[in-house]
């Protein structure tokens, strides 16, 4: 995760802090990590939450990262396929992903795997808003 932020010039709290946070999160039932490659060169982090609109939990794909020298070899696709398969097996009702407007490569990647940036009923564009506290 540190490498991911560093690659895109985004601040990172550093590997020690991230390691501690991940150990804590992964010890509980609401965070899942998928690794891909041998040795691991890709990671996907997913958090689960209840939602009033669905019977089952909703998964948020918090992060998906593949090391630059290993991209284009299907590692990201493998993690997405596994996430979708396990979500279906475990009664997860929806998978959500937040993608930056300028990250057209990520948008195309997710669209190739069946995700949409628009409401399927109305066609209206979906937006993500946040407020850091």
Q: What is the pLDDT of residues 25-60, one digit of tens each?
A: 999 999 999 999 999 999 999 999 999 999 999 999
State residue 9's pLDDT score.
67
**Structural domains of the chain, ranges and CATH numbers in brackets:** 30-112 (3.40.630.30)
Mean pLDDT of 63-89: 96
Higher pLDDT, 4 or 23: 23
Please, are residues 65 and 2 in contact by the beta-carbon 8 Å criterion? no
Mean pLDDT of 93-116: 94
* Alpha carbon distances (Å) from 24 to 4, 31, 42, 57: 20, 10, 20, 21
% pLDDT > 70, the chain: 92
- Average pLDDT over the chain, rounded to whole? 90
């Amino acid at each position: 995760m540190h490498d991911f932020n560093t690659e895109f010039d985004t601040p990172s709290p550093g590997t020690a802090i991230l390691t501690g946070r991940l150990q804590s999160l992964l010890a509980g039932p609401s965070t899942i990590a998928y690794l891909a490659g041998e040795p691991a060169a890709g990671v996907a982090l997913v958090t689960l939450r209840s939602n009033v609109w669905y019977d089952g939990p909703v998964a948020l794909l918090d992060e998906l990262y593949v090391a630059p020298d290993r991209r284009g070899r299907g590692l990201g696709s493998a993690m997405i396929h596994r996430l979708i398969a396990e979500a279906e097996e475990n009664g997860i009702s929806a998978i959500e992903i937040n993608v930056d407007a300028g990250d057209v490569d990520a948008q195309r990647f997710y669209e190739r795997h069946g995700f949409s940036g628009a409401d399927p009923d109305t066609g209206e564009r979906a937006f993500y808003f946040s407020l850091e506290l």
